[in-house]
Each structure stands twice: as C-alpha cells, then as structure tokens.
Amino acid sequence: MHWTALDIRADRQRREPLYRQIVAHLREEIRGGRLPPGTRLPPTRILARQLGVTRLTVVNAYAELEADGLVTSHVGRGTFVAGTDGETPVARTWPPSATPGRPATELLDEFFRMARGPGVIAIHSPTALRELVPVKELQRAMAAVLRREGAEAVGYDAPGGYAPLREWLGEHLSEIGIRAAADSIVITAGTQQAIDLVTKLLVQPGDVVFTDSPTYVVVIDLLEARGARIIGVPMDAEGARLDIMETLIVRYRPRLFFTMPTFHNPTGITMSLERRRRLVTLARRHQLPVLEDDVHRDLWFTPPPPPLRALDRHGVVLYASGLTKSLLLGGLRLGFLVVPPEVKRQFVTAKQAADLHTNSLIQRVMDTLLRQGRLERPMVRLRQALQARRDRMVDALEREMPEGIRWTVPEGGYHLWLSLPPGISGVALYRAAIQHGVAVAPGMPFFPDREDRGHARLTFAVESPAAIDQGVRRLATAARQLLRARRPDDSRDLRRPVI
C-alpha cells in the first residue's frame, strides 16, 4: 500500500527537539485538513532517512501523535491519520472538558489492544491467578446466606451498608491502627465508588486537586470529568515529594490530595513511616483533606507501615479501600469508606443518590466469609504466589536488562516500575516490545499531564511464572535495540525520569 510523501524539514539549529518539530508539523497538517483521515504516513525508516534523523526520533513523534489520537498505527500495515466520528446531537451539547487531552484510560486501552495479539506475553496488567481465586468458598457462603436469609438477602437494604459488615470492619480496622466506629463507615461498590463519592462531595469544577505523579489512571479521568484541574506531585523512592508539595500547596490552594501510600499503582512504591507522619502534619497545617487509597494493603510481602488514617488525629484523612480486589474477586464490587462521623450523613445521601446501596447479597456473603475466617488461607496463598513472582521478575530483570535501566522492588501489590535512561520514551519501549512479542504498560497515561517521562509499568501478577522469564527476556531485547538506535541528541527528547 502506498504512503504519502511529506514536505517537511528538521532544523538542528532550533532548540526544539527534533521529534517535537515533526509532531508540531504533522499536527498542523492533520488539523488543517491537509492530511485527511486515512492518509498513510511514510514508514519511520523512510521519514528518518528523508530528514537525516534517527529512526527513534520518528518513532517517538508518531507515538506522541498516536497518544493524541491524531494517528493510528497497525503492526505490519503502517501509520494512518485517524478518522473523525460523525458528531451526534449528544456530542455537540457535551460540556467542554477541563482538559483537552483524551481520557487516560482510553489511551491505555488503546495500547492494551495490541497486547491481545497472538503470541504476545502480557506483563502489562494483572491477570487472575485462576487456581487461587476462592470460588468454592464463595459458592458455599452464597448458598448458606440464601438458605439462612432467603428473600431478605436479595431485597433493598440500608444505603450506608449492611450493619454487621460495617461492625466487622470497624473491629478489623483497629488491627491496622484505625479507630472507626461502624457509623463512620460507608459500604461502597468497590474502592472506585468510594473515591468517586469523595470527589463528588468535595470537588467543584475549577478546583485544583493534587495526586501522586504518576497515579492510578482511572482517577485522572474521574477528576477531569468533575472539571478539576489536576496537579501531579512528583514521587521518589519514599512516596510523594513533600518538599515540592508544600510549595505547590501555597501556590495552588488545592481542594484535595489523592494518594496511594501503600503498594502504589503504578510504581509499587510504599511511603515510609517518617514521610507518612510528615504528610499528615503538612495536611493538617494547611487544612488539606487527603484521600488515602489503600486497596492493595492486604497484598503485602513485608508488612507495610500503618495507613495515614491511623496517624491522623484531626480528621484530615479520608480512607478508601476494598474488600474484593485483593482476593482476585474484583468483579464483586465491594469496598468501603471511612469518614468523620459528622459528615457521614452527606456521604450516605450521595451513596443513595448514586445507586441506592451496594449489592445486598454480596455484602452478606462477604460478611459470612470474613467472620468465618474463610478468606485467610486464600489470602496467604495469594501473597506467597505474588511474592514468588515478584522475585522471579526482579531476578529476570537483573539478569537480562541492559545497563542504565532501573526498576522498583515492591514489598507488595501487583506492579513494578521501570525507568529508562534519558532519550528513550516509554511509548517507544512499548512499541518495540510489542514487535518482540511482549506487552508492558507505557508510563505516559499514568501522569496527569500525559507527559512521557520514559517509564513502563510491569505486572508480576501473571498466571505462569515461566512467562515472566520469557517476557522480560523479550523486553530486554527491545530495550537494547532502542539503546543502540539512540543518538546523543535524542537524550534531549525527554525529561529525566522522576523515580
């Protein structure tokens, strides 16, 4: 199939990196209609030769255009100018979004689509370790609840949640230092809904919200949909950088800080105890509500420090967590929120407005399982399996990865975070990795500003441990190829890695 030649030049005298010059030119041509939908762009090798730049420079440029939704690429067929969908009346009346970028989850899904190709080893997103999912326990508990409660178990319920489950939670949370009476707990449809309710009640359009940078990708979309302006707080090996955060607080007066101090998604980092204490003090001093997402806590290999909520004596921390995700039962959608008792009523009203209440049967089933201690053994087995896979992935990375690439070694959770040397973009690594038959998650969609800072997220929650070795070997081959293709001037193309 033929491609369209481009009238374009790269100017080495300009300070603007070469790949950005290519992006700017093509963006203008596409937006101006001079390159209509369906136009095939020149193959990277050919455009690189025409411009006298490295192929990596063109790969980076195409990757950025793809991330912006302006082009789509198909392995083996080439890169094409994306089509525009016909506008429906609903689309025309849609309120303008606070951020013009594409939804972060949409970007990620697009990347993940290529991971489904034949023979591609997937180490981009956790997969269920099927034999460890407590299906039998669930089956028995469900039958027992239906036998015991019959119609009661499937009727409408209290909006704040099933009282015995809230009581069990109140007792259990004291083991991690959280003092929460049953009436300060709201049961939600997953941790996700707990986060959603907090932003609904606290965040107005135009408000500034801080998140870790990078952060949990769905929260970026959630906050943008509320019209919030997100400012990312950079992280280091101990969590969010509080020195930078304090300056940002003074400048932006944020309404909320969303953070995941324990087994962070996507980096796997756990905030140190010392930093947790300083964060709570900082938040209290500036009266900044903090929303703590603790959904991965139970998946520890080394017990983590207490949650921020346990260190907070002044009611600045709202605590969200899940009851199902960490047991590979995420589809059951069960989570909870711990809030100060004086605002409980507003949260219950918001919960009722959202979906009346969380599934009555599932709340009772989980309550039964938790009270009978039937989930303890499955949890131990899952932790052991994840830890063994974490070790296997770290060993493989040490064995295979070329010089200059670094990674985190998480003490729990599902993910680790790869940092590439300057000049190599996470999206370029992702694309090269797909060519070599392995899928990772490029780091870019996890940053609120969608900047590619040269990272990738890898998951060790992979069913077959042998796939970890092979996946990392393929990834290392892709990384070596990119390193070889890198020229000194490419190192200006990217900012230095944050972590």
Ligand X SMILES: Cc1ncc(COP(=O)(O)O)c(C=O)c1O
State the minimum distance, in angstroms, from the CB of residue 498 to ligand X.
Answer: 18
Residue number, 10 or 439, with CB nearest to ligand X:
439
d(CA 337, CA 322) in angstroms, rounded, equals 9
Q: What backbone torsions phi and psi does residue 278 show, to the nearest 5 degrees? A: -65, -35
State the minimum distance, in angstroms, from the CB of residue 217 to ligand X.
Answer: 8
Residue number, 334 or 438, with CB nearest to ligand X:
334
State the minimum distance, in angstroms, from the CB of residue 265 to ligand X.
Answer: 4
Residue nearest to ligand X (CB): 190
Radius of gyration (C-alpha) of the chain in whole angstroms: 24
Chain residues in the site for ligand X (CB under 6 A): 190-192, 216, 260, 265, 293, 295, 322, 325, 330, 335
- Name the packing angle between helices 190-202 and 217-225 (round to 10°): 30
Residue number, 108 or 424, with CB nearest to ligand X:
108
State the minimum distance, in angstroms, from the CB of residue 335 to ligand X.
Answer: 4
CB-CB contact of 434 with 114 (8 Å) = yes
Residue number, 335 or 454, with CB nearest to ligand X:
335
State the minimum distance, in angstroms, from the CB of residue 363 to ligand X.
Answer: 14
State the minimum distance, in angstroms, from the CB of residue 191 to ligand X.
Answer: 3
d(CA 132, CA 378) in angstroms, rounded, equals 7
State the minimum distance, in angstroms, from the CB of residue 458 to ligand X.
Answer: 15
State the minimum distance, in angstroms, from the CB of residue 51 to ligand X.
Answer: 41
Residue number, 216 or 407, with CB nearest to ligand X:
216
